Structure 1
Amino acid sequence: MSDQQIEISVLGSLAGIDAAEWDACACPEAADSGRPIDPFTTYRFLMALERSASVGAGTGWTPRYVIARIEGEVIAVAPLYAKGHSQGEYIFDHNWAHAYEQAGGHYYPKLQLAVPFTPVTGRRFLTRPGFETTGLSALVQGAVQLAAENELSSVHVTFCTKDEADAGEQIGLLHRTGQQFHWKNAEYTNFDAFLGSLSSRKRKNIRKERATAHDFGGNIHQLTGDDIRMEHWNAFWRFYQDTGARKWGTPYLTRAFFDIAQDTLRDDILLVMAERDGTWVAGAMNMIGRDTLYGRYWGCVEDHPCLHFELCYYQAIDHAIKHDLLTVEAGAQGDHKLARGYMPVTTHSLHWFADARFRDAVSRYLDAERDAVEHEIEVLTSYGPFRNPDVEEKQ
């Protein structure tokens, strides 16, 4: 395979590649019409971002999709963007940007190989089966070459897999780690079985929170596929705007994204909606993968005690158990998730810098940061809510 010529091209729009060609790399496991492992790198999801103008002109996320071909056949693709800021990434590099600018350089624009606004681990170097090593190398080369030709400061690959992080490190990229909270399904038969794995105090607290949440005076609905209607998106848009205004200043997704989601993504989505007196008052949006439920957005127009925990965390666990999903990823940050059964896990990213001296400085920083992240995960794990089988609890 090494003697075959690899052609690299860069596209400003996914319209330049056929959906089947992209998905043959992004989700080959879904060729049997099953669910993709990672719904966020599918053609339909990335195209929804593009068509809705959530990415593109004026957003600071300019598509520069990288395509690798051998004899005209697509063997690897990557969702790459030219970034004019560091918003919507969740792997924070603001201090790097400040230091780079202070030294007289221009940190922006940079290149970001990522799913916009999505702190979810998944493959970033999307290759057809059998082209994993060749494809990854070609995509890295293409991204770095694009940065060098345009005199850009850096390339960042965020929320990649551990295998990709190891492979990238071997070819000279800098490896960064972070931490999130994920819930793992230990073959629980129902929510009570999950509760039975917790310490008595945590178990009682969750039962109390769920009871409090359900006293909000209405009903909670889980909706997916054809059960989702435009009235739900109209309500959810109000929730999303409220949360976006408080967290980010301006919501990342446009209203058009949710209209397109109704047409092309509703089978990939689980909405958990709270309704009181015929009015939708709160909701959480999840994306459904083959083995994982991904919590993405939450919002409300009425404040009710513990309703956030119920819609975002406990309903997600319920759904995962009932549908034999292995994991619930509840998004970025949030130590409060620990007490609710979501345990710390390591996240990974890769980084390349054009300036060798800056690269060396960042490399030293990352060595220390990785040690700190590892220690933090060890400490957090020790405070987990699960029962210690060696200790007889007093009931």
Structure 2
Amino acid sequence: MDVDQLLVAGAISEIAAEEWDALHPGLPLLSHAWLNALEASGCVSSETGWQPFHLVLRSGQRLRAAMPLYLKSHSYGEYVFDWAWADAYARYGSSYYPKLLSAIPFTPVSGPRLLAEPDDIAAQALLLDGLKQLLQQYQLSSAHILFPEGQTQHLLQAAGWLRRDGVQFRWENSGYASFEAFLTTLSADKRKKIRQERSKLIKAGISVRRMTGDQISAADWDFFYQCYCNTYQQHRSTPYLNADFFKRIAEHMPQHLLMIMAEQEGEPVAAALNVYGSEALYGRYWGATRMVPGLHFELCYYQGQEFCIEQGVRYFEGGAQGEHKLARGFKARPTCSYHHIARDEFAAAIQRYLQLEAAHISEYVDELDERAPFRRS
């Protein structure tokens, strides 16, 4: 009989791609190619505060289960904000960092985190036990699992992890025959506004083209990266991702990439990059070299919605933040994260805070639902 063994992989490259990808249900942002591009390009490393620490369960030579895991020395790039928790630790003379984090780096996308065959709950439970063992072994403050879905949530609840609620925005393709068919489901004022926005872009001489996979040229990638960096510069920030990362995903997973480019008088002026699978399109990165009113909405929302309708993709994940997405047909959807705090006194204080926060989140979701742009029956 094969013996189960929990191990830590210091790089995703230590795990065969076909083994890793066999454990998750086709989510491109959780694929070996995506995670390896982050690590091989240096975007995810101990130097950037994201030390790979992937937890794997092997039964003999077979990879039975795995968890994307990182040893974090800060809280950047997570989209679940725990800076106040770190400050509380510091005020009491304790160290919050490093901490363990299971997530897709720089990516607030929900999905499985305990990767195993759907009916292998025992393997998933062993991963959770292994995670707690790592906390004790390295005397770490906490472990965090961000945006989990499915069986992972049930196991975390049963294990007594602290739940934190959040909100994101998702558009659902209800089998629309066309973008115009989708617009007919909106209220008259929202429908009119969207048509006006798109009409103004045409009058401004803006043309848009969508490219997938190998249709995206090297020049297109160069321009997109310029736009991507511009977005961070405008916010006086530093990009998380470098040009080498985008080169790697273009080479190793082109079938999951959608680039949308806007041109004015034959000159490119803006670009957006999306990642997609059979079930969902994920809006990720955008930037422009020239500000044109309405261009952001066109490239980041309307073009993605049209793509989903044409390709039969069910969901368009718009990510966190941005109530303006409501007026474009996106709906608020609850998300969550789970947290295990090693010290009981901090865990109790954080739990009280999360209970209060959850009530506010619930009220906020109700408010957003009341502001939905769809026609009333």
TM class, shorter-chain normalised?
Answer: over 0.9
Q: Which amino acid aligns with 1:376?
A: Y
CA contact (8 A) 2:46 2:52 kept: no
Q: How many residue pairs were aligned? A: 377
Is 1:108 the counterpart of 2:106? The answer is no
1:112 Cα offset (Å): 0.8
SS in 1 for 2:225: helix
Alignment partner, residue 53 of structure 2: 64
SS in 2 for 1:155: strand
List aligned pairs for 1:1-395, cutoff 5 A. Answer: 5-27=3-25, 36=26, 38-131=27-120, 133-247=121-235, 249-389=237-377
1:311 Cα offset (Å): 0.2
State the TM-score, normalized to the length of structure 1.
0.92
CA contact (8 A) 1:271 1:283 kept: yes
1:129 Cα offset (Å): 3.9
CA contact (8 A) 2:112 2:150 kept: no
1:384 and 1:191 map into 2 onto residues whose CA distance is: 18
CA contact (8 A) 1:214 1:307 kept: no
1:253 and 1:211 map into 2 onto residues whose CA distance is: 34
Q: CA-to-partner distance for each residue in 1:11-51, whole Å, 9 max, x for gaps?
A: 11122111111111123xxxxxxxx2x11111111001111
1:225 Cα offset (Å): 1.2
1:177 Cα offset (Å): 1.0
CA contact (8 A) 1:198 1:387 kept: yes
1:120 Cα offset (Å): 0.8
1:73 Cα offset (Å): 1.5
CA RMSD of aligned residues (A): 1.5
Task: Report the CA distance shift for 1:384/1:143 in structure 2 as closer, same or farther (over 3 A).
Answer: same
Q: Which amino acid aligns with 2:5?
A: E
1:4 Cα offset (Å): 7.5
Task: Report the CA distance shift for 1:364/1:4 in structure 2 as closer, same or farther (over 3 A).
Answer: farther
1:164 Cα offset (Å): 2.0
State the TM-score, normalized to the length of structure 2.
0.97
1:337 Cα offset (Å): 0.6
1:264 and 1:202 map into 2 onto residues whose CA distance is: 40
SS in 2 for 1:298: strand
2:295 and 2:161 map into 1 onto residues whose CA distance is: 43
SS in 2 for 1:10: strand
Where has structure 1 moved over 3 Å in runs of 4 or more?
none
2:369 and 2:6 map into 1 onto residues whose CA distance is: 43
Q: Which amino acid aligns with 1:306?
A: G
CA contact (8 A) 1:12 1:63 kept: yes
Task: Report the CA distance shift for 1:246/1:62 in structure 2 as closer, same or farther (over 3 A).
Answer: farther
Q: CA-to-partner distance for each residue in 1:159-191, whole Å, 9 max, x for gaps?
A: 111542232111121111100111111221111
1:212 Cα offset (Å): 1.8
SS in 1 for 2:23: helix
1:172 and 1:186 map into 2 onto residues whose CA distance is: 37
Alignment partner, residue 30 of structure 1: none
2:189 and 2:167 map into 1 onto residues whose CA distance is: 25
2:124 and 2:202 map into 1 onto residues whose CA distance is: 48
CA contact (8 A) 2:49 2:72 kept: yes
1:245 Cα offset (Å): 2.7
SS in 1 for 2:75: coil
1:254 Cα offset (Å): 1.1
1:330 Cα offset (Å): 1.1
2:172 and 2:213 map into 1 onto residues whose CA distance is: 25
Q: Which amino acid aligns with 2:18?
A: A
1:362 Cα offset (Å): 1.0
1:90 and 1:56 map into 2 onto residues whose CA distance is: 19
Q: CA-to-partner distance for each residue in 1:337-362, whole Å, 9 max, x for gaps?
A: 11111110001111011101111111
Please, which moves more after superposition, 100-109 or 211-220? 211-220
CA contact (8 A) 2:110 2:147 kept: yes
CA contact (8 A) 1:294 1:329 kept: yes
Unaligned runs of 5+ in 2: none
